[in-house]
């Protein structure tokens, strides 16, 4: 029984998120943040041309990044590090598609508050026990690995009353990954229709949000937003387990009020543990900081 000495050695590995801050530590490529560039800098236009998914645009001479299209390839951070850089943060889910564009412009606070309050009203009955039906609508498989990780001992979504179900008739939340392949639109619509009310839809990953590298074509629909009423968008390519968990908690109204709809940098309150782990090799989405006690 090798799990006994390993358990004694490692202690509790399950994350306390969202009750305590957690994350993947400095250096992890969680998302891309954008800072103002130099006015008239020719590199901004060059970067927009080099972006493989058209995620970068220029407004008033300044770069803007659509996280719903960004596949985290890192070209922009290499070509213009003064304006683009990676950040370990993962709390970038949004209840409106336009909120994935950063830096954020002048937002309509009233419309955003209305969207959040309407979502909170609909999911009020789901907070104690939530069942998820996951549908792959044309993924390359990377998203599925991250979704599967939610059930391992590190993330353990069942501790929050979140469960996966095989039947859409028992599901409260539809978690969709993939580019929206034409052959999957029918089954996807049928899954949504037989789910009981209230029901919530999450588009997980840039493939589901915008089609990713494939985009819109003869065999895809450039994501699933045109086929389903998406309530929460979770960017990432693929989205990490923590990013998925943030999106799920946002969708069912279980995030602290200050975090809802906000893009925050993930905190790692255990630098000593992080330093010790760095000596044994780089961390990964499957290997977040651990705790040594209850």
Look at residues 243, 280, 253 and name the one whose alpha carbon lies nearest to residue 67. Answer: 243
Q: Are the beta carbons of 84 and 63 closer than 8 angstroms? A: yes
Higher per-residue pLDDT: 175 or 114? 175
* CATH 3.30.70.20 residue ranges for the chain: 8-90
Backbone angles phi, psi at 132, to 5 degrees: -110, 135
HSE-up of residue 258 (Cα within 13 Å, Cβ side): 4
Over residues 25-74, the pLDDT tens digits come to 888 999 999 988 666 677 888 888 999 999 999 888 788 999 999 999 99
Phi and psi torsions of 112, nearest 5°: -65, -45
- Give the pLDDT band of residue 244 (cuts 50, 70, 90): very high
Question: Does the structural domain 97-259 have CATH classification 3.40.50.12280?
Answer: yes
> Is 150 in contact with 117 (CB distance < 8 Å)?
no
Question: If you average pLDDT over every residue of the chain, what do you get?
Answer: 82
Q: How confident is the model at residue 171 (pLDDT cuts 50, 70, 90)?
A: very high
Which residue, chain included where needed, has tokens 């086929």? 227
Burial (CB < 10 A; 0-12, 13-18, 19+), residue 222, is middle
CATH topology of domain 8-90: Alpha-Beta Plaits (3.30.70)
Reported confidence tier of residue 259, pLDDT bands at 50, 70, 90: low
Looking at the chain, the domain(s) classified CATH 3.40.50.12280 span 97-259
pLDDT band at 1 (very low <50, low <70, confident <90, very high): low
Percent share of the chain, pLDDT over 70:
79
**Mean per-residue pLDDT, 64-89:** 93
Three-class SS state of 206? helix
**Residues 127/91, Cβ–Cβ less than 8 Å:** no
Please compute the mean of the pLDDT values over residues 270-285 and round it to a whole number. Answer: 38
Summarised one tens digit per residue, pLDDT across range 177-235 is: 999 999 999 999 999 999 998 899 999 999 999 999 988 888 888 899 989 999 999 99
Q: Is the pLDDT of residue 293 over 50?
A: no
pLDDT digits (tens, 9 = 90+) for 90-129: 999 999 999 999 987 655 666 666 676 777 777 776 767 8
């Amino acid at each position: 029984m090798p799990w006994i000495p390993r358990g004694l050695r490692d202690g509790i590995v399950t994350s306390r998120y969202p009750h305590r801050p957690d994350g993947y530590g400095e250096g992890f490529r969680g998302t891309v943040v954008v800072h103002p560039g130099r006015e008239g800098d020719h590199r901004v236009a060059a970067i927009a041309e080099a972006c493989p998914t058209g995620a970068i645009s220029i407004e008033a001479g300044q770069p803007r990044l659509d996280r719903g299209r960004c596949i985290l390839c890192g070209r922009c951070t290499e070509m213009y590090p003064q304006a683009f850089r990676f950040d370990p943060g993962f709390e970038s889910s949004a209840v409106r598609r336009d909120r994935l564009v950063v830096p954020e412009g002048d937002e309509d606070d009233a419309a955003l508050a209305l969207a959040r309050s309407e979502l909170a009203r609909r999911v009020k009955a789901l907070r104690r026990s939530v069942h998820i039906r996951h549908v792959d609508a044309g993924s390359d498989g990377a998203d599925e690995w991250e979704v599967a990780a939610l059930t391992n001992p590190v993330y353990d979504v069942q501790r929050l009353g979140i469960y996966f179900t095989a039947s859409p008739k028992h599901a409260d939340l539809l978690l969709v990954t993939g580019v929206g392949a034409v052959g999957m639109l029918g089954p996807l619509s049928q899954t949504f229709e037989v789910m009981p009310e209230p029901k919530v839809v999450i588009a997980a990953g840039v493939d589901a949000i915008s089609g990713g590298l494939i985009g819109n074509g003869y065999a895809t629909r450039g994501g699933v937003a045109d086929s389903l009423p998406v309530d929460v968008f979770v960017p990432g390519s693929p989205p990490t387990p923590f990013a998925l968990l943030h999106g799920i908690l946002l969708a069912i109204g279980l995030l602290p009020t200050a975090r809802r709809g906000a893009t925050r940098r993930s905190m790692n309150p255990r630098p000593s543990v992080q330093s010790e782990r760095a000596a044994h090799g780089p961390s990964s989405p499957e290997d977040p900081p651990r705790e040594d006690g209850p």
